[in-house]
Structures are given as C-alpha cells and as structure tokens.
Amino acid sequence: MTTPVTTTAAPANARDLALAHYAARGVLEHVLARHGATFEQQVALRAAVTSEAPQTPGDLIAQVRGSLKADPAGIRATLDELLARQLLVADGAHLRPTEAGRELLAAVGAEVAPVSARIWDGIPAGDLAAAGRVLALVTERANAELATLTA
C-alpha cells in the first residue's frame, strides 16, 4: 500500500497576486482591443454606468483614481477619449454614458463571461471566500500605505 504524497502550496505573495491580476487583465484587454477600447476606458465607462447618480468629470476622475491609482491628467485624457467616441456625453456639469457606451460594456461583458467562468470553474467556495478575505485585507493595507506615502 502506498502512502499518498501531499504537497503544501507555498503561501501567496505579492508576485502571485500581480501575476494573477495581469493574466486576468490580459484576457480582458484582448477582448477590449476587439472593440477598440482600452482597460482604462472600460474602468472609467463602468464607473459612469454603475453610478447611482450623475457624475461630474471630477467625480469620475476620483473614482477611477481610487481604482487604478492613476494620474488624474491621464484619467482626464481617458474621459476625453470616451467623449470623442461618444461613449460618454456631457450633460451640463455631468458626464453620462450613452447607449453606445452601455452597449460596449454589455458586449465586452458577454464575451468575457464564458472565459471568466472557465477561469473560476472548480475552485472550492471556501477557497474563494478565503481568497476574498485576504485580497480585501491586502487592498486595505496597501491603500493605507499608499496614503501615507502620498500625504
């Protein structure tokens, strides 16, 4: 009778997190490229579409900066690109997503959904819950460290 060999996975670290992020982002960027969109445009457009209230350019810049930790001038340029493509429209002091913007997000979501399902398939619920808790804590701590560095 043979004794089963068990292996213990190495603890997750920042490099593992980065590799997972960039692998998943690569999938999304591949789909976005087929639609002539960038990752940053998708993040900004999603912020506009999912907001409960109309957003000013400053509101959207703050939201995207909170997510991507990107330079406000670069985010402003992204908003200008979305306006030029008529995926966002100015409505007084606010920017609103157009029907074309909503359709773009829906199309990208529909294309990414089956790929995402394959990526996440078979991962036990307990592992996903643990990963979610760890990622939330890492995000909280990294945001706090960044705040001290930029204060």
Q: Which CATH class is domain 31-115?
A: mainly alpha
pLDDT tens, 12-49?
899 999 999 999 999 999 999 999 999 999 999 999 99
In the chain, where the domains are located: 31-115
Q: How far apart are CA 104 and CA 5, in angstroms?
A: 49
In angstroms, the CA 142 to CA 136 distance is 10
Q: How many CB atoms lie within 10 A of CB 99?
A: 10
Residue type, 132: G
**Considering the chain, what percentage of its residues have pLDDT values greater than 90?**
91
Which pTM does this prediction carry?
0.89
DSSP string, 131-142: HHHHHHHHHHHH
CB-CB contact of 54 with 96 (8 Å): yes
Q: Tell me the C-alpha distance between 24 and 101, whole Å.
A: 22
